[in-house]
């Protein structure tokens, strides 16, 4: 079984289930043309985020790591008209491209984009006693994964779902020579496993984006 097969299967279901649409495809094209790395979630993964947001009845979503706004558009499309997606991005160029893509997608008014280090923004949001989020998608610098999960928990309520992208990275998470990203995932997983307020699992994935996986955690009632 090769990476080619995974991609071909993703392409097959993306076709059968109509997972691609012109607005999302254009957002990727605009991002690539602007020089952004092509590390957004796949269409199938984006649709999963969208369905989870709908199943959750999410009115407030937090995303950490915007890039060109591809996953943000999937998530924002699941929001009711008065819903909000708060998305955090370090790189001003990425943020500018995302803003353009949000405009083209017709969802800009549902999105609050904060430019700067996500930890700073999260500290500010925490101090503002804002309404808790219903869903959090963590997909930024992996060494900060534990900090992001802890901040997300602070901004959550019982029942909030937290998803962390890229926790497997071709098995790097358990490899002998682990990089800073893998160590970031491991610190996060070790902490989540001991945190009684969280109930969590990891699902490994293959497809368009290679071999990876995501962590799904639910904030438990006190
Ligand atoms: N969620 C996006 C992909 C995000 S890629 C999608 O699937 O469409 C990761 C992003 O995190 C990059 O744009 C990178 O600039 C951003 N990032 C890296 N470090 C960050 C930090 N400290 N604070 C906020 N964003 C950061
Ligand atoms: C990388 C980051 C991501 O969020 C992702 O989904 C894939 C790759 C990266 O930094 O290489
Ligand atoms: Mg990712």
Question: What is the tens place of the pLDDT at every residue in 173-212?
Answer: 999 988 999 999 999 999 999 999 999 999 999 999 999 9
Nearest to 126 by CA among 163, 160, 154: 154
Q: Which atom of ligand 1 is nearest to the CA of 140?
A: 11
Q: If you take atom 7 of ligand 2, which residue's CA is the nearest one?
A: 39
Task: Answer yes or no: is pLDDT of 1 > 80.
Answer: no
User: What mean pLDDT is predicted for residues 54-58?
Assistant: 98
Confidence of residue 101 (pLDDT cuts 50, 70, 90): very high
Q: How far is the CA of 65 from the centre of ligand 1 (A)?
A: 3
Residue 165 beta carbon below 6 angstroms from any ligand 2 atom: yes
Residue 2's pLDDT is what?
Answer: 84
Residue 222's pLDDT is what?
Answer: 83
Q: If you take atom 11 of ligand 2, which residue's CA is the nearest one?
A: 39
**From the CA of 70, which ligand is nearest?**
1
Residue 141 beta carbon below 6 angstroms from any ligand 1 atom: yes
Q: How far is the CA of 222 from the centre of ligand 3 (A)?
A: 30
What is the C-alpha separation between 53 and 171, in angstroms, rounded? 28
Residue 204's pLDDT is what?
Answer: 98
Phi-psi region of 7 (alpha: psi -120 to 50; beta: other; left: phi over 0): alpha
- 119-157 b/e with 16+ CB inside 10 Å = b? bebbeebeeeeeebbbbbbbbbbbbbbbbbbebbbebbe
How high does pLDDT run on average in the chain?
A: 97
What is the C-alpha separation between 126 and 109, in angstroms, rounded? 22
Residue 24's pLDDT is what?
Answer: 97
Residue 41 beta carbon below 6 angstroms from any ligand 1 atom: yes
pTM of the model: 0.98
Helix, strand and coil content of the chain, in percent to the nearest 5, comes to 45, 20, 30
Secondary structure (3-state) at 143: helix
Confidence of residue 54 (pLDDT cuts 50, 70, 90): very high
Residue 88 beta carbon below 6 angstroms from any ligand 1 atom: yes
Residue 10 beta carbon below 6 angstroms from any ligand 2 atom: no
What is the C-alpha separation between 168 and 217, in angstroms, rounded? 16
**From the CA of 42, which ligand is nearest?**
1
What is the C-alpha separation between 199 and 187, in angstroms, rounded? 16
The CATH number of the domain holding residue 50 is 3.40.50.150
**From the CA of 181, which ligand is nearest?**
2
User: How many domains does the structure of the chain reveal?
Assistant: 1
Confidence of residue 154 (pLDDT cuts 50, 70, 90): very high
Q: How far is the CA of 204 from the centre of ligand 1 (A)?
A: 21
Domain containing 18: what range? 3-219
Q: Which residues pair with 135 in a beta bridge?
A: 61, 161
DSSP-derived secondary structure letter, 59: S
What is the C-alpha separation between 127 and 72, in angstroms, rounded? 24
User: What mean pLDDT is predicted for residues 52-66?
Assistant: 98
Residue 16's pLDDT is what?
Answer: 98
What is the C-alpha separation between 30 and 25, in angstroms, rounded? 9
Confidence of residue 135 (pLDDT cuts 50, 70, 90): very high
Residue 11's pLDDT is what?
Answer: 97
Best residue for ligand 2 mutational test, from 166, 208, 212 (most atoms within 8 Å of Cβ): 166
């Amino acid at each position: 079984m090769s990476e080619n097969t995974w991609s071909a299967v993703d392409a097959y279901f993306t076709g059968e289930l109509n997972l691609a649409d012109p607005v999302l495809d254009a957002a990727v094209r605009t991002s690539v043309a602007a020089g952004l790395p092509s590390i957004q979630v796949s269409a199938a993964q984006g649709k999963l985020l969208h369905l989870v947001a709908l199943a959750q009845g999410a009115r407030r979503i937090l995303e950490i790591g915007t890039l060109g706004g591809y996953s943000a558009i999937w998530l924002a499309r699941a929001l009711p008209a008065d819903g909000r997606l708060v998305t955090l991005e370090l790189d001003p160029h990425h943020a500018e491209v995302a803003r353009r893509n949000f405009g083209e997608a017709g969802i800009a008014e549902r999105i609050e984009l904060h430019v700067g280090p996500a930890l700073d923004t999260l500290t500010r949001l925490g101090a503002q006693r804002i309404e808790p989020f219903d869903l959090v998608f963590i997909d930024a610098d992996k060494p900060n994964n534990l900090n992001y999960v802890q901040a997300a928990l602070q901004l959550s309520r019982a029942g909030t779902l937290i998803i962390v992208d890229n926790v497997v990275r071709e098995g790097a998470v358990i490899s002998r020579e682990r990089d800073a990203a893998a160590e970031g995932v491991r610190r996060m997983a070790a902490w989540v496993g001991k945190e009684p307020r969280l109930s969590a699992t990891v699902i490994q994935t293959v497809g368009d984006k290679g071999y990876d996986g995501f962590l799904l955690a639910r904030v438990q009632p006190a």
